[in-house]
Amino acid sequence: MELRPYQAQLRAGIDHAWAQGHTPLVVLPTGAGKTVVFAHVVREHRGAAVVIAHRRELVEQISLALAREAVTHRIFAPKTTIRSIVHQNTQETGRACYSPTADVAVASVDSIHKTPEIWRRRVGLWVIDEGHHVLGANKWGRAVRMFPNAKGLGVTATPERADGKGLGQIFTTLVVGPSMRDLIEAGYLSDYRVYVPPTTLDTSAIKVSQATGDFAVKAMQTAVRKAQITGDVVAHYLKWAAGKLGITFAVSIEAAGELAVAYREAGVPAEAISSKTPPAVRGELIRRFRNREILQLVNVDIFGEGFDLPAIEVVSFARPTMSFPLYAQAFGRGLRPMPDKPHAIIIDHVGNVDRHQLPDRPRVWTLADRERRAVSPPGPDAIKACRKCARVFRRYLVSCPYCGHTPEPSGRSSPEHVDGDLVELDAETLAAMRGAVERVDMPHDEYARELARRGCPEIGIRAHVKRHRGTQDAQAALRRTMEWWAGVKRNEGLSERESYKAFYLEFQIDVLSARALPTKDAATLCQRIRATLPFAAQCMTAREATTGP
């Protein structure tokens, strides 16, 4: 299979990392062809190699990818699984490419210890699919240490974990491909529409597992059942995606069965599928789904990773998650392009979009540990759902761009209630904030007289006035930079109110409060704002900081 241009660049990046002595982790969004990339790497490798995955479905997919590359390989799995995979490969490629004595192997992480030690010592390359699972002390880390003479490669769509643990224990560098948004704009992935209907689900009391970083399973199941969202899932599928091929993520096997029944009762052919579904039955269900004999597959943690079916048109979330990788990969199942598919439809009944924001939001990846966080912090790309039409839109917009609805704020007594929109704040709050700014702007002689009236000694007055001058100098630089930033936003088409909101979301402070910051905080914010400006504006603001306007 010929590599796409961005896949070829990743391939070159892998070789460069190896030449530098690194163990690379490749980052490429769901649906962009990670399997194709590492199958190409394995095909070009000379000698023994192993590709490790953690589920039967991924083993099947990897074996098929190697067959497409005409790579003869063995499979470490039960005989029934091997026969099923060989049959599938022969049907799809015309060749099985299977040999029980081949140097190249595909194995699940739980079966790798059954491989012959003499072969493991000959392995010169190991590859791990879904590399975000790998930590030094877990079974993945133990698996790669079974190949002492091999270089390594990991691939993932999301190089982070819900528990916050970094992936730098095994991998030593990242090789990052194009972003999801880049691939959407280039036509390699489908665009999407997101609907977030109202829900009564309350996740505030659900404990988060210390082991996984995700919601505790039993508590999550109880909360979802209490919210009674089954009927909503079916009703909103019929409203926004009737007749389209979809997958629904359920919270439990029981809930998946109930959802499948509800779909069928509404006239939608549907089946439930989980890890308990026998492999032969699972394969038959997917075949029927591919042929559109089934329009909905309700799954329990089966299709979150490694599921390859371009025909998916709609993804419904009926399972909340604290894991961004799980959310992003589930979301991405609907983004593979296909003819007559203008966009994917994502329907979120459980707050995942609000919790994590959109998966194509710009992110900076790292191999280091990070602080475990409950939700993604708001930023310039933060979104919210319209209470009238349920579409999501940029949170800084005053009105929904799809239906024109203008939401009322929940309160007006703090910038947080209105996302920094000064127009929405009540008069008392505005007066207090303006008073703080007026104090910063107070002339030096007036400031000195006020200090004297308060009984401050002369030496103290001089020290305070000196600090006051420093604050005003820092504020002058900050305000010039804020004016540049506002000009850039006006050029992008934002109104003044939208600019206020965008500023608050990006820098987590409203415009008036920024104008009252003391010296050090003002200088820090000034630097943060400059870093977001276009290069020419950065140069201008930096020059003004030293020479004045």
Mean pLDDT of 261-276: 95
Reported confidence tier of residue 306, pLDDT bands at 50, 70, 90: low
Instruction: Kindly write down the DSSP assignment for every residue of 158-187, as one continuous string.
Output: ----TT---STTT--EEEE---HHHHHHTT
Q: What is the pLDDT of residues 194-247, one digit of tens each?
A: 999 988 898 888 888 877 788 988 999 999 988 888 889 999 999 999 999 999
* CATH for the stretch 5-179: 3.40.50.300
Q: Which is more confidently placed, 95 or 103? A: 103
Q: Judge whether residue 545 has pLDDT over 60.
A: no
Coil/strand/helix, residue 530 = helix
Q: Judge whether residue 547 has pLDDT over 70.
A: no
Find the Cα–Cα–Cα–Cα dihedral 81, 82, 88, 92, rounded to 10°: 150
Q: Output phi, psi for 247, to 5 deg.
A: -125, 145
Asked if 119 and 91 count as a contact pair (C-beta separation under 8 A), the reply is: no
Q: Judge whether residue 543 has pLDDT over 90.
A: no
Domain boundaries along the sequence of the chain: 5-179, 192-359, 415-547
Residue among 467, 549, 481 nearest 515 (CA)? 481
Q: Judge whether residue 175 has pLDDT over 70.
A: yes
Q: What is the pLDDT of residues 408-464, one digit of tens each?
A: 888 999 999 999 999 999 999 999 999 999 999 999 999 999 999 989 999 999 999
pTM, rounded to two decimals: 0.85
498 residue type, one letter: E
Q: Which CATH number fits domain 192-359: 3.40.50.2020, 3.40.50.300, 3.40.50.2030, 3.10.450.50?
A: 3.40.50.300
Q: Judge whether residue 549 has pLDDT over 60.
A: no
Which residues are CB-neighbours of 66 under 8 A, at least 6 positions away? Answer: 39, 42, 43, 51, 73, 97, 104, 106
